Structure 1
Amino acid sequence: MAKRLKPAAKVIKAVGLKGDVKVYPFDGSFEQYVNEKFLYVGDDPTTTQTLQLSAIAKTGKFIRYAVQGNESREDAEDLVGKLIFTPADEDEILPEEIIGFLVVTTEGKPIGILADIMPIRGQDIYAIDSGRKEILIPAVPEIVRQIRFDSRTITIEPMEGLLDL
């Protein structure tokens, strides 16, 4: 079975002459992977190569890392714009696994097709294409009740007025 990967950070720019990079982590858990595991770098999860980093300095939201194997600024520049992926947990649902699922209410009424997942701090937002308009709903347990891979459906219990906008 192929390794399931999730985007965890992005290489923003090359720093210095020794091949260091500045990285923007997507969440606070990124730093634990740097110390414990191999990371993967690439444009998407299917075209990655392994990567080992060690932290040098943190400035605001960005972290400067030394990249094992990089010897020059040019080596670092080859990584700029690439995503850094970490292994997904076994029970973690990745966005690409549920895009295209039919979204229905708990009463069985079809709402539309899950077209996109927008990550924001604290929770994701599901963008549902109803055929007439785009409906945005927060991906929280109070609303998203069930995701079924066998029937490719997502069951939601929308709060009053959520689907009327």
Structure 2
Amino acid sequence: MTQDLIAVGRIGPARGVRGDVFVEPWTDAPDERFAPGSVLATDPAAVGPLTVERVNLNGPRMVVHFAGVETREAVEALRGVRLVVDATERPELEDPDEFYASDLVGLAARTVGGTELGPVADVLDIAGADYLVLHVDGVERLVPFVSAVVPDVDLVGRTVTVDPPEGLFEL
């Protein structure tokens, strides 16, 4: 059985020569996820797991020192590695109309009339609004993720229902 892993960050370039590295966090709670002592799995798995020894904020990125990674060369070997956690480690969402983007990707999209649109390929956040990415008739389409256009999401049944406004798929 494969476990669902969720990326919470990506390792960037080295900072200095003593094993510190810039990390781009992909989580709403970087201070919790990257707290000293946190153990993070990696993708590729062969280079991890990595344990956070210390962390500092530096603008939009964090500077992290992982235990046992002491040189610039060791850090550069980790560049581009994704830091992942098991999906079960995510906090429960209290609002039933809120979803993790990773839970939406792969859901079968269909119209309210039952026409199959294909799977949700991605979820994009553009200017503070979320969009489902669908490939309809071979063309990438962005569907606003609002209740008027996406009236139903069934995570158990692995489907999402789309009520497209006129012209959404005609451009």
Give TM class, smaller chain.
0.7 to 0.9
Unaligned runs of 5+ in 1: none
Label 1:48 to 1:77 Cα distance change in 2 as closer, same or farther (>3 A). closer
Residue 86 (1) aligns with residue 85 (2): yes
Q: Gaps (5+ residues) in structure 2?
A: 93-98
Match of 2:111 in 1: 105
| Structure 1: distance between partners of 2:144 and 2:47 | 31
Identity of paired residues, percent? 23
TM-score (normalised: structure 2): 0.74
Pairing partner for 1:120 from 125, 141, 144: 125
Q: Which residue of 1 aligns with 2:71?
A: 72
Distance change >3 Å, CA 125–CA 97, structure 1 → 2: closer
Contact 1:52 1:67 in 2 (8 A): yes
Q: Do the aligned partners of residues 135 and 97 (structure 1) sit closer, same or farther apart at CA in structure 2, a change above 3 Å counting?
A: closer
Report the alpha carbon displacement of residue 27 of structure 1 after superposing the two structures with TM.
3.5
Residue in structure 1 matched with residue 169 of structure 2 by the alignment: 163
Following the alignment from structure 1 to structure 2, what is the Cα–Cα distance between the partners of residues 74 and 48? 14
SS in 2 for 1:52: strand
Deviation at 1:6, TM superposition (A): 0.7
Structure 1 residue 57: Cα displacement: 2.5
Conserved? CA contact 2:10–2:25, under 8 Å: yes
Give me the whole-angstrom Cα distance separating, in 2, the residues matched to 1:23 and 1:9: 7
TM-score (norm: length of structure 1): 0.76
Match of 1:9 in 2: 9
1:60-82 CA-to-partner distances (Å, cap 9, x unmatched) read 11110111111211211111111
1:38: which partner in 2?
39
